[in-house]
Structure 1
């Protein structure tokens, strides 16, 4: 701020007074604003009222002269839908609206929050559905040691239940300490440092990708257990399921929640019915176990095999952290609703996991390659009737949709990394439907590749699974131990004990999984974590380099040695400048222009320099060295200059305005607030509206653009300048030039 004020003083020394620049403007930059809700009168049978983006106009048969070109007859776009991006074909825009629905304003974010009844199935689907493969994964390891190995199923399951309760209580403390969302990345970064935070994020990202792949593969296995003829198409079915999840989540949080609530509740009902029916049947036998077929041990029973079974069974805990990551997605009071939902989720998870293990113990069922354990239990309790079909359908549906937990949390974690400059900044932007669309697309692609690479086999994916999630668990809970030790508020000793217990148990599972499953595929997850750390640190280093280059420095600003004064624009015959005279007041209404003058001005027929009347427009986002260079270039032309800033909300607009005033307000500034987070469309609409106001002017749009020396880093920077250049090319009498800033 001190440097900005200093640079402003240097500008004052060499630039004309701000009033001189404002009087030189040949246009009125204030084109109005959207009408208030009280001014909007919907049609008799509709909800949409078409109004001009630049001033209230009644819906009439003829479009407003201030409306941007390309809008529908009867007026420009409605205020509840984003203006069509002018650099995209209309067919593409209509297809997006058909698939995703109308764009939502940023003020709709509160309406996209989830209540507890929706949040429970949306955020708990991963954890609850894991009982469909977690117990089976544990038994598949124990059965290698024969009957003696199966005897350890109850003690191992009891240990896993205790671990579930400990981790659940630990994450309740995390939600209390971080009421705005305390995912493993935030907690570890705040309390343990940069690299532990990135390692926790790497574990989470790996876990979310595998969550999608494993959930889809287990869901397809449930389908093929009931319909064996579909077994040969398991990869195709899984890929189609991922595409459906992609489309649903791009529509936004609330829509995805409504879609995914019913299957999760149906699965819980089916599992509770299965457990009750199985226990009633076991009670009829006085809880005597049914002998299982004779088993031949293929491995010796030892501590290593028991630990492998424990690590495999612990995959039933994946997804417990999802609620602490998504606290801001709850309706107020967010943290209280999140803790309540977490308690319900852990309670249901314990009941379902323990119930399935008990049924397997009493029924004598063993894992089989042709049919899942749940399918065998359902056949035993319900036969092949409607309840069996319902159980299998609910299991398949919730497993196919359990990946939605990852679709909620993966983009959120990626956006936090982008906010901290550890990932490309495009992942921090929300899409039309208030979802992090770029992160959702990346997750779909990554999960689809993993699923296809492993041929959709759940058994092959499980060994990769535990490392990432328990790495995140361990670092998050260790971070909470440090948090309570530093804070030492009320009940801090109890909270520290809970989190220390959770951290210790998670570390045991992590080490166990890393050692026992290393050769089975855990090494892939470890390599992925290492690569993630390398990539994110390189991205951060690049952004730090660019930030240092762009940072304002008083002596780095080159200023001319003479005073810069804008030359007045001579208006065409019969038209005065914007100076308050009657003629200029008529100028503000484009309908006052004579049609012949409008037509002549639109022909771009200037053939000599004297006929060209200039106005320089400088779209600018931040007052850094690149922006200052663009402002200096525009002012040095000694033509009228208008600076345009597009803000995504009132807070951002106020913050930029304060910085602009601190700099000195040397040039005329017009702020545009874009409620749909779009930048290109509002700028083009505004520039076109200025052209309608003065068709005789040649508008020169001067864009600051960062040019990186190494092309591999170009994807890390905004493509706003090339997109705006492409969007403005079709407009008459608009010249686009870029002021490159090389880094």
Structure 2
């Protein structure tokens, strides 16, 4: 039944030779990898206005030069990540660039930041989209968390079905959102040009505003830079592109940057000319759409596509997180299971873990993750700064053709990213301080995992580990609970391995049982030695363990191996297991970590 459900939800397994069919073309890649960046248009411009309005409505005109600054940063990031794509065509993005050029610790900081950021991407995006839906239908508001979890499960399932399948489904809402916003911006600009928008709605650019300061402008710039989250996703996901992967990834990156620049600048301009003031209950995009079209079909179309892309922005995390995890796992900083492809050739362990952690975050914060947005943004700008600094070091060290222009681009990007990152810490420290705690913890965890794999490798390697001692013989210990076909089956197996010594062990709770069982055993198996152990505290495992330890100590003196043969009957139906005490499983679990003791289970399958 579980197998049938899995096939229904995920689809039939794909052969490894079908991997090429799971690659993305530029159209699908643009949708699936740009949803996070493009969705930030819905809240990036608003973040600028929220800061400026603390001075006065007259300060809104500063959103224009601030937006220009954000576009300059976007240009630097796009050009920089384009260079990263060609320099590191196997993906990995900020983690690989930082590790190879700045050292292992900067690489782990970048990798750890991005892993957490992709989890936040899913949680924040889905929660924001859920809020948009429940705002339209207030009766659903008490079910915010449940709705958000359903969306996470839906997107997780889509990605488990394969990259191309999820891209085919999720591409439509992304392009609908882009189409809707272009209509909104186009009609809005037409209204401005034709004079339908009164000039008194906005303060003329250049008007002096009392109370404005450089610190506040930098804070607004940092807040607006949250619109650039997700820009790095394409450089992480190069292996998902069809060949030639670097060329297709670079073209997709430029297309994403162009769309983001047009939509972001368009929304900022409309908000300025319309004199939009941010409100707690209505988004800036909603106010612009209402003033442009009124509350008609187009208004609800724009709101619906905005809600959809906010939810689907989570898909960028599902595309980038597994590939980043693969790079970290190959370097043995996280479990190797992240390198394994699932039935549909996706890195399903990364996809599932991302979904689980996102759901935990949504539940922990009750679907209200607005105050995590600064943490979400700073988690991106730390890798931005490190990766571009790494590229600066790379150009200085290697000095390839045209390295000077590349150096200037990356230096500019590194400086601006670092300034934005510092502004987040200075202006929103109460919301981002936790990054100073969880990043060192993550790096510590990375090193513990790395040390474990190194230790395991040293112990398992033929050339490094101690030579195994020769085995002169074998002592077989057979725990028995009665005289049954299950025990008989295990005894026959043990005898087939003769001439090894066999010791049957019976643990009894009452003295009267000892003599009765010994008599029965003598008649049934006179050639097999029986040891009876009294357990006054009714424990089977403790006396059995002590006996095994005693035998093992004596056996080791003669280079004998101790093998514990555990009889176990297997019911025909799985649910029948709950009707039995599972002593064999408990014994096996307890003995599994004993040194120099081999555990063998002999199953006996019941017919009914």
Structures share a fold, TM > 0.5?
yes
Residue correspondence of structure 1 range 577-588 to structure 2 within 5 A: none
Partners of 2:85 and 2:250 within 8 A in 1: yes
Aligned to 2:287: 376
Residue correspondence of structure 1 range 557-568 to structure 2 within 5 A: 557-558=467-468, 560=470
Deviation at 1:134, TM superposition (A): 0.9
Aligned to 2:314: 403
User: Structure 2 residue aligned with 1:131, among 14, 19, 41?
Assistant: 41
Does the alignment pair 1:340 with 2:251? yes
Aligned to 1:155: 65
Deviation at 1:222, TM superposition (A): 2.7
Does the alignment pair 1:491 with 2:402? yes
Partners of 2:459 and 2:465 within 8 A in 1: no
Residue correspondence of structure 1 range 339-738 to structure 2 within 5 A: 339-457=250-368, 459-519=370-430, 521-553=431-463, 556-558=466-468, 560=470, 729=603
Deviations 1:94-143, CA, capped at 9 Å, x for gaps: 22112111112222211100001100000001101110011112211211
Aligned to 2:191: 281
Partners of 2:382 and 2:418 within 8 A in 1: yes
Aligned to 2:111: 201
C-alpha separation in 2, matches of 1:475 and 1:500? 11
Higher helix share: 2
* Local SS of the residue matching 1:544: helix
Deviations 1:491-548, CA, capped at 9 Å, x for gaps: 12222221111111111111111111111x1112332222211111121122222222
C-alpha separation in 2, matches of 1:219 and 1:608? 61
Aligned to 2:86: 176
Partners of 1:200 and 1:475 within 8 A in 2: yes
Partners of 1:164 and 1:317 within 8 A in 2: yes
Aligned to 1:44: none
C-alpha separation in 2, matches of 1:561 and 1:448? 51
Structure 1: give runs of 5+ residues left out of the alignment: 1-90, 294-298, 565-602, 615-635, 638-704, 710-720, 733-743
The change in CA–CA distance for 1:381 and 1:418 in structure 2 (over 3 A counts) is same
* Local SS of the residue matching 2:56: helix
User: Structure 1 residue aligned with 2:13, among 99, 103, 113?
Assistant: 103
Does the alignment pair 1:216 with 2:126? yes
C-alpha separation in 2, matches of 1:131 and 1:708? 59
C-alpha separation in 1, matches of 2:103 and 2:464? 33
Aligned to 2:53: 143
Partners of 1:225 and 1:371 within 8 A in 2: no
Partners of 2:458 and 2:465 within 8 A in 1: no
Deviation at 1:397, TM superposition (A): 0.9
* Local SS of the residue matching 2:434: helix
Partners of 1:311 and 1:466 within 8 A in 2: no
Deviates more, 1:140-149 or 1:130-139: 140-149
Aligned to 2:102: 192
Aligned to 1:660: none
Aligned to 1:237: 147
Partners of 1:379 and 1:388 within 8 A in 2: yes
Deviation at 1:147, TM superposition (A): 2.5
Aligned to 1:311: 222
* Local SS of the residue matching 1:144: coil
C-alpha separation in 2, matches of 1:280 and 1:448? 43
Partners of 1:312 and 1:462 within 8 A in 2: no
Partners of 2:98 and 2:390 within 8 A in 1: yes
Partners of 2:362 and 2:369 within 8 A in 1: no
TM-score (norm 2): 0.76
Partners of 2:124 and 2:372 within 8 A in 1: yes
Aligned to 1:586: none
C-alpha separation in 1, matches of 2:491 and 2:228? 72
Partners of 1:141 and 1:308 within 8 A in 2: yes
Partners of 1:292 and 1:366 within 8 A in 2: no
Deviations 1:257-303, CA, capped at 9 Å, x for gaps: 1111000000000000000011111112187545279xxxxx95333
C-alpha separation in 2, matches of 1:220 and 1:282? 33
Deviation at 1:220, TM superposition (A): 2.3
Aligned to 2:531: none
| RMSD between aligned residues | 3.0
Deviations 1:187-244, CA, capped at 9 Å, x for gaps: 1111111100000011111221121122123222332443344344333322221121
Deviations 1:428-454, CA, capped at 9 Å, x for gaps: 222211122222222122222323333
Structure 2: give runs of 5+ residues left out of the alignment: 204-209, 474-487, 500-558, 561-590
C-alpha separation in 2, matches of 1:446 and 1:609? 47
* Local SS of the residue matching 1:152: helix
Aligned to 1:247: 157
C-alpha separation in 2, matches of 1:608 and 1:364? 86
Deviations 1:444-486, CA, capped at 9 Å, x for gaps: 2222232333343453222212211000111111111122222
Aligned to 1:656: none
Partners of 1:307 and 1:516 within 8 A in 2: no
C-alpha separation in 2, matches of 1:708 and 1:544? 22
Partners of 2:188 and 2:270 within 8 A in 1: yes
* Local SS of the residue matching 2:53: helix
* Local SS of the residue matching 1:145: coil
Deviation at 1:182, TM superposition (A): 4.0
Equivalenced residue count is: 497
The change in CA–CA distance for 1:554 and 1:415 in structure 2 (over 3 A counts) is closer
TM-score (norm 1): 0.63
C-alpha separation in 2, matches of 1:554 and 1:319? 45
